[in-house]
């Protein structure tokens, strides 16, 4: 199954990238519409199609395919010209439908660019604040980077309030995954048949809550239990508790720090970036992490047991 996503720029949370009458444009978003999966503003990323191809910065390539039409986004004919859409043929590799995404530039937003020319990036045409922001029908073009909010994009699950299930693993032992056991957060031997090792990064009702670096917050929700990871009050313990997305407790909110290499990040308290998720005593000096190692909140020290990677759960 291909998970579908919404694509929107930082300049407007009210508009989503859509394919309307063959044109790639921004259209008014309706996060409350449960038909989003069949609407022209839903897309899926086909990473396998790229066959491992990467851009010059080492970011993986992918095709962006419209869920409703089956068409893929294709490079424009040149600088300042519209991005096009063509019928996607998964059996024939066409580099002109391949894109890649930069690292996180600002609070979960990044640049999306041609895989073979990182200077040509997604741009909501005349969608900057000086023009009043994006509107219905604003075209998607390719333009040089001028630090505009209309050039920063998020490929996310926001209309549905949740993303695809993810595996959360620690650099200290990549054979282990975050799971729930007896109501506690621990590391366990990876088992991709065990839904308790699958986590959802939910941005529902959290996006406007940012940390001191301006990064958007999220809730980590366990796929099997529907419960969320929560810090305890006054100690290092973590709890897995019931979660109501319409009334989010700040103790449930986390942010990810910048890329620490090979896709690892710190996962931090939104209200205090000095405290991060930590595989307790999961360093070689203390025997390393193992099945059953507790995951706690601990002052940041840069150790491998505080570096985490989120990868698709499959």
Answer whether 112's CB lies under 8 Å from 49's CB: no
Note the CATH number of domain 166-312. 2.80.10.50
Give 173-225 pLDDT, tens digit per residue: 999 999 999 889 999 999 998 989 999 888 776 767 888 888 888 899 898 88
* pLDDT(166) > 50: yes
Tell me which residue has tokens 């991709």: 192
Q: Which pair of structure tokens corresponds to residue 106?
A: 């600002």
Identify any residues that bridge with 142 across adjacent strands, giving them in sequence order.
122
Domain pair 6-156 / 166-312, same fold: yes
Task: Please give the model's pTM, rounded to 2 decimal places.
Answer: 0.54
Give 49-69 pLDDT, tens digit per residue: 998 899 999 999 999 999 889
Q: Which pair of structure tokens corresponds to residue 23?
A: 């044109």
Q: Torsion angle of alpha carbons 31, 33, 36, 40, nearest 10°?
A: -90
Domain-wise residue ranges, the chain: 6-156, 166-312
Counting residues of the chain whose pLDDT is more than 90, the rounded percentage is: 57
- CATH number of 6-156, picked from 1.10.10.10, 1.10.260.40, 3.30.50.10, 2.80.10.50: 2.80.10.50
Neighbours of 274 (CB within 10 A): 9
In this structure, of 29-43, 90-104, 145-159, 240-254, the range with the lowest mean pLDDT score is 29-43
């Amino acid at each position: 199954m291909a998970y579908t996503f919404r694509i929107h720029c930082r300049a407007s949370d009210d508009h989503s990238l859509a394919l309307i009458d063959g044109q790639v444009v921004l259209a008014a978003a309706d996060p409350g519409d449960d038909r989003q999966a069949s609407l022209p503003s839903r897309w899926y990323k086909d990473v396998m199609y790229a066959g491992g191809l990467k851009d010059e910065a080492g970011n993986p390539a992918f095709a962006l395919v419209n869920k409703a039409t089956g068409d893929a986004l294709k490079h424009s004919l040149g600088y300042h010209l519209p991005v096009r859409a063509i019928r996607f043929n998964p059996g024939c590799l066409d580099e002109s439908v391949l894109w890649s995404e930069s690292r996180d530039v600002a609070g979960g937003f990044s640049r999306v660019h041609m895989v073979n020319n990182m200077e040509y990036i997604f741009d909501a045409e005349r969608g900057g604040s000086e023009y009043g922001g994006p509107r219905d029908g604003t075209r998607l073009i390719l333009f040089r980077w001028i630090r505009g909010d209309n050039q920063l994009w998020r490929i996310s699950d926001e209309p549905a309030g949740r993303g695809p299930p993810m595996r959360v693993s620690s650099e200290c032992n990549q054979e282990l995954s975050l799971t729930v056991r007896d109501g506690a957060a621990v590391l366990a031997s990876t088992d991709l048949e065990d839904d308790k090792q699958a986590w959802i990064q939910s941005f529902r009702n959290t996006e406007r809550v940012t940390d001191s670096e301006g990064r958007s917050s999220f809730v980590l929700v366990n796929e099997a239990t529907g419960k969320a990871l929560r810090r305890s009050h006054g100690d290092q313990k973590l709890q897995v508790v019931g979660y109501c997305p319409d009334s989010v407790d700040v103790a449930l909110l986390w942010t990810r720090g910048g890329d620490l290499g090979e896709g690892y990040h710190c996962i931090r308290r939104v209200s205090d970036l000095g405290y991060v998720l930590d595989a307790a005593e999961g360093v070689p000096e203390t025997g390393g992490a193992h099945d059953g190692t507790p995951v706690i909140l601990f002052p940041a020290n840069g150790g491998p047991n505080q570096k985490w990677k989120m990868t698709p759960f499959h």
